[in-house]
Amino acid sequence: MTISDSGLIRELPPLALYVHIPWCLRKCPYCDFNSHAAGRNPPFELYVDRLLADLDWELEGLSDSRRLASIFIGGGTPSLLPGQLVQRLLEGVRARIALDEAVEITLEANPGTTDAAHFARYGEAGVNRLSIGVQSLSAVQLNRLGRIHDPRQARDTVAVARRAGFRNLNLDMMFALPDQGLAEAAADLEALIDLGPDHISYYQLTLEPHTGFHADPPPLPDPDLAADMAEQGAERLETAGFGRYEVSAYAQPGKRCRHNLNYWEFGDYLGIGAGAHGKISRRSSDDLAIRRNAKISDPRRYLDATPDAMLASERELSEADRIFEFALNAFRLTQGFPHALFAQRTGIGWARLAPSMEEAVSKDLVEDDSDRIRPTPLGRAFLDDLIELFAPGMQ
């Protein structure tokens, strides 16, 4: 989005689509996502019908000129869906809204929930990026994490995905696992690198509220050891050719995740599915309105609701909300953001941000080279403290 000299917003941000599949074979004890055990005969076909009705509702009033730059099918475990339903879903999306020529379409998959036929059909449907939830390649740790797969199944899943023709693979791995030491974390990451992924999401296990681990915490490494693991992992990934572009995201050249970058750069996205969230900007004269919404999280209630009753919440973002949410996302990027992006994505002039930014610079949490703002190593280490400077009431 660009802003003219008169302040008129000429272009809106890139647009993405998030599709939530809320079922898993089993709920993991660390997971705080909206996921539910699938049980017998989950209503996948009805759910795809409802997703497309949800998309119809989302597209009402949206400019016909807007196109999807990316689609992300997440969960839950989307790879539980049969290939023909993923094809029907994506065909339905294409029939309703234009896609960029180079659209990125990601599907999350878990080892133990798919096979070669599934992957082949996903590729035929248009999926061109897979995100595989490996989490660890230690049998002991996988058991502690409540995962349904073992290390062999994880390796086999990656091999099958490659044979199916996928040339853009992300692998997820966690560190600071129960009783994990520095050497064990290093060996786990080395085994993941050996699988030859194009992108790695490497993040720390944390105890989230309303999870099994929060109710009954396992013995996790202390904060200093966890920080050493993070530093050790970042250094190893860099030497292996994975450029760090976000707190937990590392990519080979040309393989950054377009969908997640759109979040971190405060772009727009439609959210369909149980518990999905969305953010949409609309232009009005020389003003910009930004609205967030969230869908009903319970899958059964979501399926039973009429399209106009699927919303759980909807709100307009105030100036303070926009400043905070922009900071919450953009400061996760290791290269930060250009000055112009703030006004382009929020519709707010830089002067409104300046006092908080000056304080962040004075505390050595960010550096400002007159064109680009980026977090310093100290700012990345104390990201919560940096973001708090931009919280409502602090500006």
Cα 344 from chain centroid (whole Å): 22
User: In this predicted model, what pLDDT tens digit does every residue of 240-267 receive, in sequence order?
Assistant: 999 999 999 999 999 999 999 999 999 9
Architecture in CATH for domain 15-261? Alpha-Beta Barrel (3.20)
The predicted pLDDT at position 2 comes to 41
Note the pLDDT tens digit of each residue in 116-163: 899 999 999 999 999 999 999 999 999 999 999 999 999 999 999 999
Distance CA(25)–CA(76), nearest Å, equals 9
Q: Which residues contact 16 (CB under 8 A, 6 or more apart)?
A: 68, 69, 70, 71, 72, 259, 262, 263, 267, 268, 269, 270
**Chain centre distance of CA 264:** 9
| Residue 357 identity | M
Write the single-letter amino acid at 323.
I
**Chain centre to alpha carbon of residue 277:** 12
pLDDT band at 371 (very low <50, low <70, confident <90, very high): confident
Residue 6 has pLDDT above 50, yes or no: no
> What is the percentage of the chain residues whose pLDDT exceeds 90?
88
pLDDT at 361 over 70: yes
47-74 pLDDT per residue, tens: 999 999 999 999 998 988 999 999 999 9
Across 210-226, average pLDDT: 96
Cis before 76 (ω within 30): yes
Class of domain 319-395: mainly alpha
Checking if the pLDDT of 109 tops 90, the result is yes
Q: What percent of the chain stands above pLDDT 70? A: 96
In sequence order, what are the residues at sequence separation of 6 or more whose Cβ sits closer than 8 angstroms to the Cβ of residue 80? Answer: 21, 23, 24, 25, 38, 42, 44, 113
AA letter at 4? S
Query: Where exactly are the structural domains of the chain?
Result: 15-261, 319-395
Task: Name which residue leads in pLDDT, 139 or 115.
Answer: 139
